[in-house]
Amino acid sequence: MGIFFDDANRLFFIETPGTSMCLALADEEGFLCNAYYGAAVGRDDLRYLLGGKNNPAVPSRNDRDRGCYFDKTRLEFPSGGTGDYRNPVICVRDAGGHDSSLFTYVSHRIYEGKEEISAEMTDGRKVRMPAAFPGKAGAQTLRIVLEEKVLGLRAYLSYSVFDDSDAILKSVRLTNESDTTVILDKLLSSNLDLDLSCFENHEPDIVTLSGSWARERRMDRRRISRGNSEVYSTRGESSHQFQPFMALCENGADDSKGRIYAQTLIWSGNFVCGAGMDQFETVRSYIGISPEHFTWDLKPGESFQSPEAVLVFTEKGFDGMSHIFHDLFRGHLIRSPYLYSERPILINNWEATYFDFNTDKLLDIARDAKKCGIEMLVMDDGWFGKRDDDNSSLGDWVVNEKKLPGGIERLSGELEKMGMKFGIWFEPEMVSPDSDLYRAHPDWAISSPGRVPTRIRNQYVLDITRSEVRDHVYECVAKILRSAKISYVKWDMNRQLSDLGSTGLDASSMGRLSYLYTLGVYDLQERLLEEFPDLLLENCSGGGARYDAGMLFYSPQIWCSDDTDAYERLTIQAGTEMIYPLSTMGAHVSASPNHISGRVMPFDVRGAVALSGTFGYELDITAIPDAERESIPEQVAIYHSVGDIVREGDYYRIARVSDIELYDAWMSVTKDKKRALLTYVQCKGSPRTGKRVIRLKGLDPDMMYSLKLIGSDDENSRFCSHGKKHDWKILAPEGAVSGKSLMNAGLMLPVLWGEYGQMMFEIRQV
């Protein structure tokens, strides 16, 4: 594996352990084309896949039909206005308003390692952009230089691979080497043109993840058709509505089998991700920054850097895709010292108290939590300014001493005495109209002159593209963290961007705002982690509106959704886990009835679902039933016992309640195959059957395993659900069972009594 250049045939081979990409300079003029991407192949002359080794239709041989060539060739960096009528990667205008461009090969370089990527803020400060890094693996990078000769632009296309991953990382840097300003209207990070022959039945499906607040990342699958299908965000965040992700798959592909081409973006702002089929049955798939609300006046000597895209190919279905994404993010993106370590089990007071709390109430919660084995108290919204509801005080990060006499110092000190860690909530990017900060600096809020600013949740967005605003925001957060022993920060963002205008940008540069805003978030969090390297940072955005690979560069975990209803979480978490490691998923046990849905769920089911994430509690532990409080130490013990399997293991999806309604099931299996955790959640009872077969995944077929039902009364695996005890045993072979039997014959489970129930199994090699 690695990166190689065949000089004789002018071919680039980009190879991972299991895949190959072949780029070809298909004409004497140097048009860069994608000849092949898929399962590993030899370094053969694959130009024939572009229509012939000596294609008579190329412009150097048939210039009279130049436009026809561009319209159907699988171009790697397609531009607009010169004959390719499909979606371009780049759109640029010159001083005269002309928008045609054509990029051709100049040179390339192959080198060991992978460089960081960065961009500049308006004040000249360089901001490191989130991107994959080599970690413990070897890395190689190919940089291809393309030139737009008329406009004097150069595009630097970067491709990186790691020797332990089947992902390919792509990004583009565009430099203006002319003496005039050009207007960049669009620059995507990746384009991939595929022939329908790449799919077994020539009828690929598109898979995306969509939703809304409290219903994030639900799998959406449909057949591709002619024309474009896109998901996108223009909200200044990756959004609740769509995930920066798209997969093209055979329509017979499932979790265990089938070819899949997937892509995501390491970016936390506006994006577009799409695929379309043309009249020649070529599929064009692309991802990058959304061109909506974006223009960049690229001045002479200036450069623009795109975010990094991740491309994945597998023939092992969605589980295989997930493994590549998970391993890449754990090994090459998440930098936190908490990555593989056991996270403190926390209790958050939001659903327990909302804004109605004081020091005594928080300490009461902490005392009961400590008795149950919980290790951290997180104080959520309402501790600052005069904030007794969500109508004021954002931006005034001064402790409300009426609620917290003695301040945070006293509260954190009392928690430390009882052996509890302390965490705190911030929403640093926002400002309330009713705040001292807004009254002093109304121009610090993003707004359009002459328009009444749009309020969402009765708040505005601070213009952190400006250095003075960003510095003020940072110092407010850092001052609080310096004042007490604080181990954890929940960084929230509860509204989207609108009324895009900044007093820090001139008219010609106003189209930069959305891009610079995202860089501003990265700059703030990078500075925070530089000063507080041991801080456990959890990102949040009204739940899961900024759950993306960009944020994982700064925080090892992200609050998955404000919907903590365990039944709803089954679908939300199943979608999230398709891309992101389970260790990144903030998941808590909350009170029943649930505060959003009103659904009543057994405490053990709520625990089983939350144990597939970072695990914690979101309830008033002083007010829950005694039986539930007494169950918490057992759940805590389960987390300590099997949490490493969830954090570090390979994830396998067994069943989706969104597909079959009756039950949901998934597994985590350690890399050495010696331990596994199976979680089964029944969602509907059935009056006419007493058993159900679950076929396991990911085990070593030749290993022998023992199964223990977690929380059972004895090794014969009795269980409880809804308080009703059953006396029958699990219908599985006695003693040790081979991996091949568990995966092929399966495990036979009883149908539980009642609407909701759960069974968790720890599986060990014997």
Tens-place pLDDT, residues 212-241? 999 999 999 999 988 899 999 999 999 999
Cβ within 8 Å of residue 120, ≥6 positions away: 126, 127
> How many percent of the chain have pLDDT more than 70?
95
Please give the Cα distance from 695 to 513 (Å, whole number). Answer: 51
Please give the Cα distance from 678 to 215 (Å, whole number). Answer: 25
Flag the least confident range among 144-158, 286-300, 647-661, 749-763.
Answer: 749-763
| Confidence band for 51, pLDDT divided at 50, 70 and 90 | confident
Reduced to 3 states (helix: H, G, I; strand: E, B; else coil), residue 382 is: coil
Residue 373: how many other CB atoms lie within 10 Å: 15
Reduced to 3 states (helix: H, G, I; strand: E, B; else coil), residue 575 is: helix
Taking the CA atoms of residue 515, residue 517, residue 522 and residue 527 in that order, the dihedral angle to the nearest 10 degrees is: 140
Structural tokens at position 554 = 């700064």
Q: Which of 562, 563, 565, 620 is catalytic?
A: 562
Omega cis (within 30) before 17: no
pLDDT surpasses 50 at 718: no
Mean pLDDT of 506-510: 94
Please give the Cα distance from 109 to 144 (Å, whole number). Answer: 7
Mean pLDDT of 67-76: 88
Mean pLDDT of 144-159: 98
**What tens digit of pLDDT does each residue of 77-95 get?**
999 888 899 999 999 999 9
| Confidence band for 71, pLDDT divided at 50, 70 and 90 | confident
pLDDT at 405: 97
pLDDT at 200: 79
pLDDT at 654: 97
Mean pLDDT of 50-65: 69
Residue among 326, 319, 323 nearest 653 (CA): 319
Cα 626 to its chain centre, rounded Å, is 38
Residue 56: how many other CB atoms lie within 10 Å: 9
- CATH superfamily of this structure's domain 346-388+397-423+471-498+522-649: Aldolase class I (3.20.20.70)
Pairing of strands 218-223, 421-426: unpaired
Mean pLDDT of 244-265: 96
| Confidence band for 714, pLDDT divided at 50, 70 and 90 | very low
Mean pLDDT of 156-176: 98
| Domain range annotation of the chain | 2-332, 346-388+397-423+471-498+522-649, 653-765
Mean pLDDT of 473-482: 98
pLDDT at 724: 44
| DSSP 8-state assignment for residue 196 | G
Q: Assess whether 659 carries a catalytic annotation.
A: no
Taking the CA atoms of residue 299, residue 524, residue 477 and residue 495 in that order, the dihedral angle to the nearest 10 degrees is: 80
Residue among 131, 151, 446 nearest 293 (CA): 446
**What tens digit of pLDDT does each residue of 735-744 get?**
899 999 999 9
| Confidence band for 730, pLDDT divided at 50, 70 and 90 | low
Residue among 120, 138, 137 nearest 129 (CA): 120
Q: Which residues pair with 46 in a beta bridge?
A: none
| Confidence band for 720, pLDDT divided at 50, 70 and 90 | very low
pLDDT at 728: 40
**What tens digit of pLDDT does each residue of 551-607 get?**
999 999 999 999 999 999 999 999 999 999 999 999 999 999 999 999 999 999 999
Structural tokens at position 228 = 């474009």
Q: Which of 193, 255, 492, 523 is catalytic?
A: 492
Assess contact for 460 and 500: CB atoms under 8 A: no
pLDDT at 96: 93
Residue among 563, 586, 566, 515 nearest 211 (CA): 563
pLDDT at 280: 87
Structural tokens at position 706 = 């023992």
Backbone φ and ψ of 544, nearest 5°: -105, 30
Reduced to 3 states (helix: H, G, I; strand: E, B; else coil), residue 205 is: strand
Assess contact for 561 and 546: CB atoms under 8 A: no
pLDDT surpasses 80 at 526: yes
pLDDT at 758: 95
What mean pLDDT value characterizes the chain?
Answer: 94
114, 472, 486, 531 from 478: Cα distances, Å: 32, 10, 11, 8
Q: Assess whether 368 carries a catalytic annotation.
A: no
pLDDT at 27: 81
pLDDT at 712: 60
Taking the domain 653-765, which CATH number applies? 2.60.40.1180
Task: Give me the half-sphere count of Cα atoms (radius 13 Å) on the Cβ side of residue 212.
Answer: 0
> How many percent of the chain have pLDDT more than 90?
88
* Architecture of the domain spanning 2-332: Distorted Sandwich (2.70)
Please give the Cα distance from 226 to 124 (Å, whole number). Answer: 44
Cα 156 to its chain centre, rounded Å, is 26
Flag the least confident range among 248-262, 676-690, 713-727.
Answer: 713-727
pLDDT at 688: 66
pLDDT surpasses 70 at 731: no
Residue among 476, 478, 487, 479 nearest 535 (CA): 487
Q: pTM of the full predicted structure?
A: 0.96
pLDDT at 511: 97
